[in-house]
Structure 1
Amino acid sequence: MSRLAPRPLGERIPRRLHAVSCSLPTMEDVIGYETRDPAILNHVCSGYPRFVVHDLIRQLAALWSRRLDLGSNVVWLTASRRAAEELAVYLNPVTSRILEHEGIWGLAHSENPEVAQRARQFLQHTGGFLSSRQAEDQLVKAGLLDPEPEDSIPNDAHRIIRDTFGSDLDYAQPDSIILTNSGMNAIYRAFQAASDYQRTRGRTIWIQLGWLYLDTMAVIEKLGNGPGNRRVITSVEDLETLRSVVTECGAQLAGLVTEAPSNPLIQTPDLEIVADIVRSAGGLVIIDPSVASAYNVDVFPHADLVVTSLTKYAAWEGDVIAGAILVGDDCPQADQFRADLARNTDPLYNRDAARLAFQIGRAPEITREIDRQAREVAAFLENQPGVERVYWAEAEDQLANFRKLLRPGGGPGALLTIDLAGPLESFYDRVTLPKGPSFGITTSLLCPFLYLAHYDLVSTDQGRDHLKSNNLNPELVRLSIGTEPIDAILASLDEALT
C-alpha cells in the first residue's frame, strides 16, 4: 500500500490562501510553536485563529499603523464595532483607542506584551478577529496584493447557506439561522445572550458538563458571571453529580453548556436526561454538536440553543471560518433570543459566505464519506498492539447514548482520539499523515491535541496531574479522518505504529 506524502513545516492545509490549518510535522515543531520559537513561527502564516493570526490580517494591521500614524502601538483588527468595544472594556483600565477605517473596526494600545496577550486571548475566545478574506480585499484595494481566484456563489450566499443547512437538518425556520464569523463567535454570542437573559432573573451559575474545547471553557470561566458562578462536572456520564449540583444551585442555576460528543474524548452524554434535569430547575441548555457534526446528530430536542462550527464539515475543503446559532424549537425564549442574536452577533463576511455557499451543498455527501472511512480507521486502530485505546463516537462504551442522537444514515464523524502504547514523539514524527489542528475537512489531520490546546498543562508536572485527574492522557493523539484513499491512510498509520 502507498502511504500519504509528508507535508513540510508551515505548509497551508489545504494549499489555499485561507486554509484553516498548517503543517507541524514534528514534535519539535509543535513545541517550538507553543514556546514561540521564531524559527518555527516564521513558517506559520495561515490557520485557525486559535493558533495563528492570519498573515493577511497582520499585513493589514501594519498598513493601518502607517496610514493612521499609530507608531509602535499594537493594532488588533476585529470582526465588528461591537467586538472592538468589548475588547476595550475587557482590557480596562489599560488605555486603548477604538479605530474605524474604511468600514473596518479595530483597537490600538501601547506596546506591552502582557496586554497584547490578553487582547489576543479575548479575540480568540470570542471569535472576534477580522476575516482573512476581508483583510485580503482591503490589501487588494490598496494595491498591495493580487486577488486569489476561488470558486464561490456571491449572489444571495447567506440565504443559500441558511436554506441548504436548514433543509439538511430538517430545521423548521431556516430564515432564523444566525450565521456568525466563526464557530467560537457562535458559542460566545449564544452564551452571552443566555447569560444576559438569566441574569435578569437572578440566575448566574453555569454548569460545564465534560472537558470541553479550550475556548468554550474559557468563555464560561472568564467571560461568564465571575468567580463562584461556574460548576464543572468532569464526566459527561455523571448524572448523579449533575442532579446534586443542580439542586445545590437552586434558583441561581442559569444553565448548562456541553458538547455532544465532547472534544477530545469523543464522549456523548445522555442528553434527554441531562436536559430534563436542567430545564426542570429553570436552566437553559446550550449544546455544541461540532465534533460529529449536526449532519450526523440531532440535538435540537434537548437544546435551547445549538451552536456549531461551519468550519467543520459544511466548509469541507478547509478554507472557510464560519459558525451558526440555531434556537431550539421548544425554547420558551425563542423569539427573544433570535432577535437578540440577529442584532448582536458578528456577521459572516460576504466573501466567506460566498465561498461557503459553494461548498455546503455537498456537505452531507462528504460527511457520509468521512463517516465510512472513520469506521474503517477505528476498526484498524483497535486491533493494533501499538494502540492502547481508541476514543470515538461509536466506541462500545459510547454507542448507546450516541445512537439516541444519530440521524438516519448518520455516522461517527471524523474524529478519533488515540492513547498510544509507545512514545508520542516516535509515532508522531514517523507518521506521514498531514499534521495540524482542526477537523472535519477532506484532508486528514493528526495532532498532539493537548500540546496544542493546553501546552501550559502538558509542560508541567502539576498540569499533567490535572489532565490525568480528568482522565486525559497528556500524550494522546487526535486524528481527523479525511477522504484520501483509505489504503493510503491505513498505510501511513501502519508504518508509524510498526
Structure 2
Amino acid sequence: MSNSFFNHIPCGQTLPQNNIHAVSVSMPALQDVIDYEEQTPEILEKIKSAYPRFVLHPYLRQLANYIEDKYKVNEAYEVVLLSSQKAVEIVSNKYYIHNKIEIDEPFGVILVQKSSRQLQKVLKYIQHVGYNLSSRLAQDYLCDVGLLKEKYQEEYEDQLVSYDNIISILSDAYNQPKENICLNPSGMNAVYCALRGIKNIQSRNGRTVLVQLGWLYLDTMNIVEHYFEENKKFYDVSNLDDLEKYLENEGLRVSAIITEVPTNPLLKCPNLPRLKKLCKKYNIPLVIDSTFATPYLLDLKSYADIYIESLTKFACGNADVLMGAIILNTDSKISHISHEFFKYADMPYIKDLQRMAYEIKDYKSRMKKISSNTKKLVEYFKTSPIIDKIFYCLSEENKVNYENLMIDENSWVGIVSVTFTNDFEKIYDKLNIAKGPSLGTEFTLLMPYTYLAHYDYLQTKEGLAFLNKIGLPKDLLRISVGIEPIEELISEFKKVEKLI
C-alpha cells in the first residue's frame, strides 16, 4: 500500500495536519480519547488545539491575555471572547453579566469571575450555541498588534465575491432563493438561531413545546434543553406511532419538530411522508439538520420547512472553517416561516468567508466521489471478518425510508458506522487512518463516537443501560469517508484484519 494516504498521526497533531485553523485533532489511540475526556495533564500537554467549540484556540488564549493587559482587567476575572457585540448581549442577558469597564474591540468581550460556577456555565453555553470568536480574526488582530510575526498561509477566494459565491452555491444546491439563506459563525449557531426564532414566533400562538425526534447531536439536544422548558423527546425515528398519539392531544401546543436526516451516528431516517403529513395536520414546522444528507445526496425539499447545515463538514471538506447555514424552504406551507429566524445570526468573519468560498467550490464533485467510495466501502465491510454490524444509509432497516429521497441511485450518504467482532481498542489503535472529532473531510476520518460524544454514559450502569435502550453501541466507530482511492482505504482495513 502507498504511504501517501494513510500513516500514523501523532496525538495532538491538528487535522488537517499542520493547519493552525484545523477544527479536529489526532487521537490515534483509544487511551488518548479516554485521557482527553478525563482531562489528564499528559493529554493537555499534547493537545494544544482541537475542536474550537470545545477547546480554546491558542490564538484566542493569546488574544484574551492581550485584552487583559490592554484594559488592565482585575485578575479575579476571566476574559471571555465572543464573535460579536450581539453575542455579548445574548450571553450577558442570560447570565446577568455586566462588564465594569468599557471595551472597544471589533469582537465581543465579557468578564466573568474566575473559578466560579457562572464561568463554567458561560463557557458551556457558548460551546452549545456557537458564538465563538474566529481564529482567523484573532490571527489578524495579533499580527496587527505585533504579537504574531506571520499569518498561516492558505488559499482564499477574493474578498469582494466570497459571501455571494457561498450563497449562490447553496441557493443552487437547495433550489432556494438567495434571500432565504443565512450564514452563521458555526453550525450550532445556525441551530440556535433557528430554534430561538421559532420560540419567539410560536410562543405568541401558545405553541411552547419543542419536539425532538431522534437521539440528536449532543449540543443540539443541549440547545433544546436550554431554550425550551417544555420539550418532548422521541428517541426512535423509525417509530412514529408514539409521536402521532402525542400530537393527537398536544399537536396545537407544538412549536416545531426538529430532527436529523439521517441521524448521527446510526444513519436512521424517519418515514418522512408520514412525518410531513402529521406536521401539516397540526401546522407544525419541520426543522431538518441536513448536514449528513447535504443538498447533493438526498432530496428533502418536500419535507423540510427549515434546513440547517453545518458547513464546517462536507461543504468545507477540509475541517478548517467553522460556519453554518439556515435555509428557509419557499415551498413550506407553514405561514409563519419568516426571516425572524435570521435576526440572531452573526455574519462570519471575512477571512472565514473567503476560505469557505474557496473550498465550497468543490462541494458537488466532492460529494460524488465520497458517495461512490462509501458504497464500495460498505460492500467490502459486508465481507470483512472483523466487522460485526454496519450502520449505513441503505441498510435493509433503512432502505424503505431512503429510496424516494435519493437524488440518484449512487447518492450514498458519506458516513458509515460499524462495530467489530474483535476487541474495539485493539482495532482502533491499529488503524493508520486519521482519528479525531468532526466529519465531512476529504480525508477519511474515524471517530470513536460514543467515547467522544457520550463518555459520561460509559461510566455508570445506568448510563450504559440508557445507551442500550436507544440502541447506541458503546464500541461504535463512525467513519467519515474521504475522497482517497477507495482501494487504499480498504487495504488499510485489510491490513488490520491480518493483525487481529
User: What's the TM-score once normalised by structure 2's chain length?
Assistant: 0.94
Asked if 2 retains the 8 angstrom alpha-carbon contact of 1:206 and 1:256, the reply is yes
- How far apart are the structure 2 equivalents of 1:440 and 1:304? 24
Q: Stretches of 4+ moved more than 4 A in 1? A: 94-99, 332-336
The one-letter amino acid paired with 2:11 is L
Alpha-carbon offset, residue 335 of structure 1: 7.9
Alpha-carbon offset, residue 11 of structure 1: 0.7
Asked if 2 retains the 8 angstrom alpha-carbon contact of 1:310 and 1:323, the reply is yes
Alpha-carbon offset, residue 35 of structure 1: 0.8
Q: Which residue of 2 aligns with 1:23?
A: 26
Q: Which residue of 2 aligns with 1:205?
A: 209
Matches within 5 A, 1:394-433: 394-408=394-408, 411-433=411-433
Matches within 5 A, 1:154-193: 154-171=159-176, 173-193=177-197
Are 2:68 and 1:65 equivalent residues in the alignment?
yes
The one-letter amino acid paired with 1:170 is N
- How far apart are the structure 2 equivalents of 1:116 and 1:382? 48
- How far apart are the structure 2 equivalents of 1:205 and 1:335? 16
Asked if 2 retains the 8 angstrom alpha-carbon contact of 1:300 and 1:306, the reply is no
Alpha-carbon offset, residue 490 of structure 1: 1.3
Deviations 1:163-190 (A, max 9, x none): 122113322x023310111111111100
Alpha-carbon offset, residue 462 of structure 1: 1.5
Alpha-carbon offset, residue 20 of structure 1: 1.6
Alpha carbons of 1:264 and 1:96: their partners in 2 closer, same or farther (altered >3 Å)? farther
SS in 2 for 1:64: helix
Alpha-carbon offset, residue 95 of structure 1: 6.6
Specify which of 28, 31, 52 is matched with residue 49 of structure 1: 52
Asked if 2 retains the 8 angstrom alpha-carbon contact of 1:300 and 1:329, the reply is no
Alpha-carbon offset, residue 249 of structure 1: 1.3
Instruction: After superposing the two structures, state which structure 1 stretch, 433-442 or 146-155, moved more.
Output: 146-155
SS in 2 for 1:300: coil
Are 2:112 and 1:109 equivalent residues in the alignment?
yes
Identity of aligned residues (%): 30
Alpha carbons of 1:97 and 1:38: their partners in 2 closer, same or farther (altered >3 Å)? farther
Deviations 1:197-244 (A, max 9, x none): 1111011111111111001111111222x1xx1111111111111101
Q: Which residue of 2 aligns with 1:348?
A: 348
Q: Cα RMSD between the aligned structures?
A: 1.8
Q: Which residue of 1 aligns with 2:13?
A: 11
SS in 2 for 1:40: helix
Gaps of 5+ in 1: none
Asked if 2 retains the 8 angstrom alpha-carbon contact of 1:160 and 1:357, the reply is yes
Matches within 5 A, 1:246-325: 246-325=247-326
Alpha-carbon offset, residue 354 of structure 1: 0.6
Q: Which residue of 1 aligns with 2:437?
A: 437
The one-letter amino acid paired with 1:7 is I
Asked if 1 retains the 8 angstrom alpha-carbon contact of 2:194 and 2:342, the reply is no
Alpha carbons of 1:398 and 1:51: their partners in 2 closer, same or farther (altered >3 Å)? same
Q: Which residue of 1 aligns with 2:221?
A: 217
Asked if 2 retains the 8 angstrom alpha-carbon contact of 1:307 and 1:324, the reply is yes
SS in 2 for 1:307: strand
- How far apart are the structure 2 equivalents of 1:454 and 1:98? 39
- How far apart are the structure 2 equivalents of 1:417 and 1:440? 14
- How far apart are the structure 2 equivalents of 1:427 and 1:387? 10
- How far apart are the structure 1 equivalents of 2:343 and 2:265? 33
Q: Which residue of 1 aligns with 2:363?
A: 363
Alpha-carbon offset, residue 464 of structure 1: 1.2
Asked if 2 retains the 8 angstrom alpha-carbon contact of 1:47 and 1:54, the reply is yes
Instruction: After superposing the two structures, state which structure 1 stretch, 468-477 or 76-85, moved more.
Output: 76-85
Deviations 1:128-154 (A, max 9, x none): 111111111111111111112211112
Alpha-carbon offset, residue 117 of structure 1: 2.3
The one-letter amino acid paired with 1:48 is Y
Deviations 1:389-423 (A, max 9, x none): 11011222212212222224652232111122222
SS in 1 for 2:443: coil
Asked if 1 retains the 8 angstrom alpha-carbon contact of 2:371 and 2:414, the reply is yes
The one-letter amino acid paired with 1:137 is D
Give the total of aligned pairs: 492
- How far apart are the structure 1 equivalents of 2:346 and 2:361? 24
Asked if 2 retains the 8 angstrom alpha-carbon contact of 1:78 and 1:129, the reply is yes
Alpha-carbon offset, residue 333 of structure 1: 6.0
The one-letter amino acid paired with 2:27 is L
- How far apart are the structure 2 equivalents of 1:412 and 1:290? 13
The one-letter amino acid paired with 1:166 is S
Alpha carbons of 1:113 and 1:403: their partners in 2 closer, same or farther (altered >3 Å)? farther
Asked if 2 retains the 8 angstrom alpha-carbon contact of 1:301 and 1:329, the reply is no
The one-letter amino acid paired with 1:161 is I
Deviations 1:40-89 (A, max 9, x none): 12222333234322211111111111111222411221112222222223
Q: Which residue of 2 aligns with 1:120?
A: 123
- How far apart are the structure 2 equivalents of 1:399 and 1:47? 36
Gaps of 5+ in 2: none
- How far apart are the structure 1 equivalents of 2:65 and 2:386? 48
The one-letter amino acid paired with 1:432 is N
Deviations 1:423-478 (A, max 9, x none): 22111111111100111111111111111111111222211111111011111111
Instruction: After superposing the two structures, state which structure 1 stretch, 189-198 or 43-52, moved more.
Output: 43-52
Q: Which residue of 1 aligns with 2:95?
A: 91
Instruction: After superposing the two structures, state which structure 1 stretch, 268-277 or 50-59, moved more.
Output: 50-59
- How far apart are the structure 2 equivalents of 1:125 and 1:30? 21
Deviations 1:230-264 (A, max 9, x none): 11111111111110111231321112000000001
Asked if 2 retains the 8 angstrom alpha-carbon contact of 1:99 and 1:108, the reply is no
- How far apart are the structure 1 equivalents of 2:192 and 2:101? 21
Are 2:79 and 1:75 equivalent residues in the alignment?
yes
Alpha carbons of 1:122 and 1:410: their partners in 2 closer, same or farther (altered >3 Å)? farther
SS in 2 for 1:302: coil
